[in-house]
Structure 1
Amino acid sequence: MTVLEMNLTAIRPKQPELAENIQRSQVGAAYKGVVPAKTGEPVPLFASGQALQSLYNPVREAERALTSAAGFMLFCGLGNGIHIKVFLDTYPQSFCAITESDYESFKQLLSLIDYTELLADSRVFLLPPCTSSAFETALTAAYLPAVHGTFGYHILRTWSEYYKAQVKDLPEKIEHALKKIKADFSVQAHFGKIWLRNIFFNLRLAGSVKPAYPHTDTARTALILGAGPSLEAGLSLLKKKRQQYTVFCTDTAFPAVCTSGITPEFFIALDPQHISYQHTIGVIPKETTGIFDLSAQPAGARRFYKNGNAFFFTAGGHPLVQTAALFSPFPPLATGSGTVAVAAYHAAQALGYRHIECSGMDFAYTGGKAYSRGTYLSAQYAGSAARISPQEHSFIRLMFRTETYNEQTTQGITYRTALLDSYRAAFEAEKHSATRWQPTDFQQFPYTAFLASFSKTLQQNGRNAVMPLLPALAWCKAHRKGNLTDMELVSEFISEYTDL
C-alpha cells in the first residue's frame, strides 16, 4: 500500500466525500519532495527548493509560533503536520481543522508523508481547500461553538507566501464564515431550550397517531397564503375562483382566512414560541389538515389532535429532529430559512404541486399596514386599546421598531426594513425544492423505543449524544447558572420533558 493509499484509508471513514475528491484529483507539482530536518522530521520542499518548515527543528518552530490557545484551531497549510501535533499535545481538550490551497497540492502532500496517526485523531477535521467554493460551508459545519468554545486560526508563513495569490482573501473568507456561525449560534442560544422542549413533546404526540399521506388533486393550483396586507385583496379573488385552488395557509394568516369564510386544505406551522398558539384559537375547520414541524409549538398540534383533524409532523433541520427521523421516518421539510412561507411552498412541492401561486407574501408594510386584518395581532391590539392609545399606535410601534425606508406604490406608501428584505430574498432563493413526500414517510413514531435508544446514547456521552443537542447546549452556554456542566443541564431538561 502506498503512502497516499494509507492516508486516504485514514480519511475515508470520517470524510468519504473529501477522500473521493482528493482521489480524483491530479497530483500537484508544488513540491519536489521531502528532506529530513536535523531532528529527523520530514519537511516538504517546494519546487524552488525552499523548505516549507524549519530544517533545523520544526517542533521548536511550531512551539514558538503557536502562542495562544483555542478550543478550535483552523490550520491553513498542512505542511508536515508537526505544528498540528504540537497544538494537540499542548491543548489535549481542543479540536482543529486543516485546509490546503487546492486538491492537487493536498494530494501531493498525502503522497509524500505518512499522516495516518494525525488523521486518525478524532479531534482532527479536514476541510476542502480554501480556494474551493465549499470551504466556508464546511468550516461552518465543522466549528461548533457550543462544543468547541473559542476559535483561532494559524496560517503557515512560508505556505502563505508561496500561495500568495490563492490565499489573499483567506482571512475574509474565515471572517465571513464566522459571521454566519455567530448568527446561527445566536439563534440557537435564544431558542435552544424551547426547541428541545417542543421536540420531545411533539415526538410524544407523534407516537399517539398514525398519519396518512394526504392525497390531493395536484392538477389544481396550490395557493400559499401569508398574512401580509395584500392577503385582503387575495381573499376576495380567491372566493370567486375557490375551486381552482388548493390552499396552503401559513399559521399567522389562519385566523384571517377562516374569518373570511374560506376553509384552507392545509395549515402550516413551524414557530417554536408560545405566542404562535394564538393562531389556532377559535374554531378549526375539520377539513383542514395540519402540518407541523417537530420543533413547532406543541399546543397548536394538540389542538388539531383534540379537534379530530388530520395532521402530521415534518422533519426540519434541527439535529435532534434529524436523529428522530433516522430512527423512524417523518416527511422532510426544509426549515433553514426560518420563514413559514418557504416551508409552506416546499410542502406544496413535496405533495406534487407544480403550479403554485402566493398571496399575502408582502415582506413589507404595504400601504402602511403591518398585517392583513383579522390576524391574531388585530384582536390582541384591539383588546389593549385605550382612548389615548388606540389600536393604530400598537401597529405603528411594531412597524417602526427598527429603521425603515419607504417607497410610493399603487397601494400608497410602503415601508420596508432590512430584516423583511432578507426574508424576501430567502423566500425567492429557497422556495424551489426537489423533495417529494412518499407514503412510507408517514409512520406512527415509536416514541418509547426511541427514548430507550436515546437514553443509551446519552449515557455514552460521546459525539453521537452531543450532536443532536447542539442548540440546547448553545442555550446553556448563554444562560448557564450553577455548577452543572452544559451536558448535565441539558440532561436535566430532557428528564423534565420525557419519562427518562
Structure 2
Amino acid sequence: MIYSKEIAEAKNGSRIPLFKNGKPANSKYNPDAEQILFEDLPQGCIIVAGIAGGFHIEKLLSEKNISLIIAVEADSESLEFCKQFSSTKKIEECQKAILCDKSNLEEILYTKYFPVLYKNLTLVFNRAWKNENPQIAQEISSTVKNFLEKVSADYSVQAHFGKLWQRNILLNLKFISEHNNENFFSVNIEQDKIKKTAAIVAAGPTLDFSIEEIKHGDFFVISTDTAFGTLLQNSIIPDAVINIDAQHISSEHFFCANNETKTTFIFDLCSNPESVNLVYNKKNKIQFCTNQHPLSLLAAKHMDIKKIESGAGTVTIAAADWAKSCGFQKIKFFGADFAYSFGKPYAKGTYLEKQFFSKSNRIISAEEKYAALMFRTELEKILGEENSFTTEVLNRYKKSLDEWTEKNFFKLKNGIYISDKKIKTENFSTKNNFNYSEFHIQFTNGIKELLKNPDPEIILQSNWGLSILPILAFFKNNTLFDSLKLAYNQALRYN
C-alpha cells in the first residue's frame, strides 16, 4: 500500500488521496483539470501508471483515437483504495478501460493488447506518482519493454506470413473436403512401435556424424522436412516426415520422395499446398495436424485432427510434440543443433546443397552462398566450441525446445529424453466428413458481419474475428475497416 488511508479535500471540493508521507497524489487546487500531456496525438492503447484519484485518466475516456486504456497501480491494496474515488469508478465502468496492479500487468497485456487491432502502445505516468514511487515505475517500464520485445517478434512473423497462412489453410481444408473418403487422419501407431525411441531428426551439421547410429539403431524415425533428403541419400527411409512451412520453396524438400513408401507425411494446415499435392500424387500416406493458428483451430473443431505445438515456430519441436501425442515416452534428437556448427548451416544432402552446388560457378561458389545464408544476421560465437556460431533466433529456438521438454516432463538420461509421466493419447477416426463449402460460407459471413462495426472489442469476442488476426497483421498499414475488407476479399478467392 503506497497511500495513506487519510483522504484530503482539494480547494475545489474534490477528494484526493495522499501518499504515506502526506504528499498529495493529485492537485490540491483543481484536480479535475489534471491531464496527461502527450508529444503526439494519443491513439491506440495507453498504459497509465499511477491511478491515484483517477482525474487524469478520466479525461482520456473521451479521446476517440484511444481504443484501450490500461490503468496500473503499485499493488492490489493500493488499487482497491483508489476505486473509492468517483473518477476511478467511472473508469472502471468504461468498457475500453482496464484497472490492474503491477503484479498482473503482464498477463493483462498478453490477453488484452493485440498490436493488429490497437496499433500503438504508449506508457505514461502520473507525474506525482512516479516521483514518489521511482522503483515501482522502473519495474513497470521493464515489464512493458520485455513484453514489447516478445510480442514484436511474433507480430513481425504474422505480418510476414499472415496472408500466406490463410491461403494455405483454406486450400488445405478444401483438399481435405475433396478427399473425405480417403485415409488421411489415421494417426494411431502400433504399440510395439511406440515402445521404441522416437528419433527426431533435424538437419543441423552434427547430423553428418549421427547417420550410422540412426541407420543401425532401433528407432521410430521422425524426420523434419529439411533432413528428409539427407536420410534418403543415406538409405534411411523415415517412418514419418513433418512439415509446418508455409513457403512454396518448402515443396523442394519432397522432390526426392518415392512412390508409395512406408513413410507417413504429416502436414500442418498452414503448410504449403504444393507440398501436400506433391506427396499425394506419389500415392504416399498423408496426415494433417494443426498448430496454434486461430483459423486452423476453428476448422479443427469440425474434424478429428491432431493439435501439436511448435514452440517458437520450429519444425523440430513440432516433430517432438507429434511423437509425444502418439504416445512415445522416449525421444532422442539428432541434428538439433540450433547453431552453425563447424562453420556450416546444414548437414549434407539437404535441398539447399543440391540447389547451391547446381548453380555454383567460379564467380559465386556454393560456399559463398552458404556464407551469405549464415551471415544474413549477426553471429555470436559459442564459447567452448570451435568454429561454431549461433544467432538470436537460433538461441530462441533452443530455449523453446528446453521449455518444451520441461513442460512435458521429459528428462535427459544418457542422451535420451525420457518421460516418467503417463502420456495420454487419443484415438482418431480414419475418416472425416468436413464440408469445406459450408465452412467457407460461415467464415466469409463471419467477416462480413464484423465489417458492420469494426470495433476491436467486437472482433476479439468473435471466433471469426480471432481467426483473421494474422492476416490483419499482414494488412497492418491500413485502417482496421480496410484491413477487414481486404481479409474478406482474400477469403472470397478460395470459395
Partner of residue 209 from structure 2, selected from 228, 233, 236: 233
**Hey, what's the Cα distance between the residues in 2 that align with 1:98 and 1:442?**
51
Equivalent-residue separation in structure 2 for 1:139 and 1:92 (angstroms): 19
Q: Structure 2 vs 1, CA of residues 164 and 29 (structure 1 numbering), >3 Å: closer, same or farther?
A: closer
More displaced 10-residue stretch of structure 1: 149-158 or 251-260 = 149-158
Task: Trace 1:186-265 onto structure 2 (pairs within 5 A).
Answer: 186-207=156-177, 208-209=179-180, 211-216=185-190, 217-241=193-217, 244-265=218-239
Structure 1 segment 23-172 matched on structure 2, within 5 A: 30-32=3-5, 43-46=16-19, 49-62=22-35, 68-91=41-64, 94-110=67-83, 118-127=91-100, 129-130=101-102, 132=103, 135-172=105-142
Unaligned 5+ segments in structure 2 are 409-422, 451-457
Q: Deviations over 1:93-138 (max 9, x none)?
A: 52222222122322343467695653343322345x32x2x53353
| TM-score of the aligned structures, taking structure 1 as reference length | 0.82
d(CA) in 2 for partners of 1:64, 1:386: 61
SS in 1 for 2:476: helix
In structure 2, how many angstroms separate the alpha carbons of the residues matched to 1:337 and 1:155? 33
Matches within 5 A, 1:430-441: 430-434=404-408, 436-439=424-427
Q: Quick check: 1:457 aligned with 2:446?
A: yes
1:485 corresponds to which residue? 482
Cα-to-partner distance string for 1:340-382 (whole Å, 9 max, x where unaligned): 1111112112222121101111222323332222110111112
Distance (whole Å) between structure 2 residues aligned to residue 63 and residue 432 of structure 1: 45
Equivalent residue, structure 2, for 1:495:
492
Bigger shift: residues 466-475 or 202-211: 202-211
Aligned equivalents of 1:47 and 1:252: distance in 2?
62
C-alpha distance in 1 between matches for 2:287 and 2:378: 39
Residue 301 of structure 1 pairs with residue 286 of structure 2: no
- Could you tell me whether the CA contact under 8 Å between 2:168 and 2:246 is conserved in 1? yes
Cα distance in 2 for residues equivalent to 1:305 and 1:393: 36
Q: Distance in 2 between matches of 1:115 and 1:276?
A: 54
Tell whether the 8 Å contact from 1:345 to 1:431 is kept in structure 2 after alignment: no
Q: Distance in 2 between the 1:148 and 1:115 partners?
A: 23
User: What's the C-alpha RMSD, in Å, of the aligned pairs?
Assistant: 3.2
Note closer, same or farther for the CA distance 1:493–1:407 as it changes in structure 2 (3 Å cut). Answer: closer
Corresponding residue of 1:175: 145
**Contact conserved, 2:225 with 2:253, CA < 8 A, in 1?**
yes
Give the structure 1 partner of residue 333 of structure 2: 358
Q: Does 1:280 align with 2:264?
A: no
C-alpha distance in 1 between matches for 2:55 and 2:439: 44
TM-score of the superposed pair, with normalisation by structure 2? 0.83
Give the AA of the match of 1:198: N
Deviation at 1:294, TM superposition (A): 1.9
Distance 1:111 1:149 in 2: 32
Q: Is the 2:55–2:87 contact (alpha carbons within 8 Å) kept by the matching residues of 1?
A: no
C-alpha distance after superposition, 1:395-441 (max 9, x if no partner): 2332334444557989x733444443333233223344448552259
Relative to 1, partners in 2 of residues 1:421 and 1:494: Cα closer, same or farther, differing over 3 Å? Answer: same
Do the aligned partners of 1:332 and 1:437 also contact (CA within 8 Å) in 2?
Answer: no
Give the 3 Å change call, closer, same or farther, for CA 449–84 of structure 1 in structure 2.
farther
Separation in 1 of the partners of 2:38 and 2:474? Answer: 34
User: CA–CA distance in 1 between the matches of 2:230 and 2:150?
Assistant: 35
Distance in 2, Cα, partners of 1:363 & 1:61: 53
Find the aligned partners of 1:91 and 1:383 in 2 and give their Cα distance: 58
SS of the residue corresponding to residue 32 of structure 1 reads strand
Judged with a 3 Å threshold, the aligned counterparts in structure 2 of structure 1 residues 407 and 41 are, in CA distance, closer, same or farther, namely: closer
- Identify if the C-alpha distance between structure 1 residues 232 and 65 changes in structure 2 by more than 3 Å, giving closer, same or farther: closer
Q: Deviations over 1:160-198 (max 9, x none)?
A: 344343333322322222222322222222112111211
Cα distance in 2 for partners of 1:396, 1:164 equals: 47
In 2, are the aligned partners of 1:317 and 1:336 still within 8 Å (CA)? no
Q: 1:66 to 1:267 in 2, by over 3 A?
A: same
Does the 8 Å contact 1:32/1:49 carry over to 2? no
Change (3 A) 1:44 1:436: farther
Deviations, residues 205-240 of structure 1 (Å, cap 9, x unaligned): 233345123224321101100111222222211222
Tell whether the 8 Å contact from 1:66 to 1:87 is kept in structure 2 after alignment: no
In 2 relative to 1, CA 36–491 (structure 1 residues): closer, same or farther, beyond 3 Å? Answer: farther
Give the letter aligned to residue 477 of structure 1.
K
Out of 310, 315, 327, the position equivalent to 1:335 is 310
CA contact (8 A) 2:310 2:321 kept: no
CA–CA separation in structure 1 for the residues paired with 2:397 and 2:324: 20
Report % sequence identity.
29
Distance 1:250 1:320 in 2: 24
Alpha carbons 2:311, 2:318 under 8 Å: kept: no
Partner of 1:425: 399
Using a 3 Å threshold, how does the CA distance of structure 1 residues 356 and 136 change in structure 2: closer, same or farther? same
1:89/1:413 Cα in 2 relative to 1: closer, same or farther (>3 Å)? closer
- Supply the distance in 1 between the matched residues of 2:277 and 2:363 (Cα, whole angstroms): 39
Written as runs of structure 1 = structure 2, the 5 A alignment for 1:436-447 is: 436-439=424-427, 444=432, 445-447=434-436
Q: Is the 8 A contact 2:6 2:18 kept in 1?
A: yes
Q: Deviations over 1:265-321 (max 9, x none)?
A: 111111111111111113245322222222222222233333343333222222322
Question: What secondary structure sits across from 2:400 in the alignment?
Answer: helix
Give yes or no for contact 2:340–2:374 (8 Å, CA) kept in 1. Answer: yes
Per the alignment, in what secondary structure is the counterpart of residue 69 of structure 1? coil
Structure 1 residues without counterparts, runs of 5 or longer: 1-27
Give the structure 2 partner of residue 292 of structure 1.
267
